[in-house]
Amino acid sequence: MISLDHTFSALADPTRRAILARLALGEATVMELAQPFEMTQPAVSRHLKVLEGAGLIARRIDGSKRPCRLAPNAIAEIDQWLAILREALSKNYDQLDQVLATKPSGKRKDAP
Amino acid sequence: MISLDHTFSALADPTRRAILARLALGEATVMELAQPFEMTQPAVSRHLKVLEGAGLIARRIDGSKRPCRLAPNAIAEIDQWLAILREALSKNYDQLDQVLATKPSGKRKDAP
DNA sequence: TTGTTATATAATATATTAGTTATATAGTGA
DNA sequence: TCACTATATAACTAATATATTATATAACAA
């Protein structure tokens, strides 16, 4: 099972997010992915390793090429975790709504 | 506007995710948040600063206390970005479905 | 087999991060 | 005012991350 630590930290890097965005258009090899970046091939290889370790991409073997594609597992796991926050946020919002509805002129401690 | 770099990197830390999970239950002060962790108060203060900088929490002033609560902006932004990947994944899945449906005995380059 | 292409790994330098302790600041309450 | 509580900041250390160059490995093409 993939850890959220790895997944979120993989997504924290702009190069890696750009790689994922490129893969959203379809499979690509390491060189194809490296080409648009001002970065050496080994650097891209390491980013791909991070993305793979995070469960965000998968690779297959095609001769001497290693085409990459998006993998679904990590995204699903992230979504699941974010659901907790989303639910809490919508609940808080409802509560605030209620407070504003029931005490439209109540004191606010945080007012200046 | 908040950067995805900051938001994802804030979420990559398990202590910070635990803090967010606690805040999902409702507002809490710095000391309340620090208490369950084997960590000093300054360490928690810094985590909160990171979460605030990432747009994941907001703080208000209540005397000498600084109660924290979840903030919605960053989550919304993350969701928006992840939508790109989600869409691509579902598209790829559909394509795979089609491929399997139309050529059930086609050659596969990646077969051993 | 030899040269070339595609990719991975190792060694290394630098930057960033997360924690610590010590200290500063500001509100609280006697 | 004085002691106490709540929080923030600074200085420092240790661990981690990212990039580079050099090199290894494996497939391909002549």
Q: Which residues of B touch A11 (CB under 8 A)?
A: 4, 8
Out of A11, A70, A87, whose CB is closest to B8? A11
Nucleotide nearest A32 (Cα, C1'): C6
Per-residue pLDDT of chain B (112 residues; tens, 9 = 90+): 679 999 999 999 999 999 999 999 999 999 999 999 989 999 999 999 999 999 999 999 999 999 999 999 999 999 999 999 999 998 876 665 666 566 544 333 333 3
Q: Which residues of B touch A72 (CB under 8 A)?
A: 89, 93
Instruction: Report the interhelical angle of B14-23 vs B41-53 (nearest 10°).
Output: 80
pTM: 0.85
CA–C1' gap, B14 and C9, in angstroms: 30
Q: How far apart are CA A104 and CA A101, in angstroms?
A: 6
Within residues 39-98 of protein chain A, the ones with CB less than 7 A from nucleic strand C are 41-42, 45-46, 48-49, 59, 64-67
Nucleotide nearest B30 (Cα, C1'): D7
Name the maximum alpha-carbon separation found in chain A: 72
Q: Which residues of B touch A60 (CB under 8 A)?
A: 110
Question: Residue A59 — φ and ψ, nearest 5°?
Answer: -125, 150
What are A22-76's pLDDT values in tens digits? Answer: 999 999 999 999 999 989 999 999 999 999 999 999 999 999 999 999 999 999 9
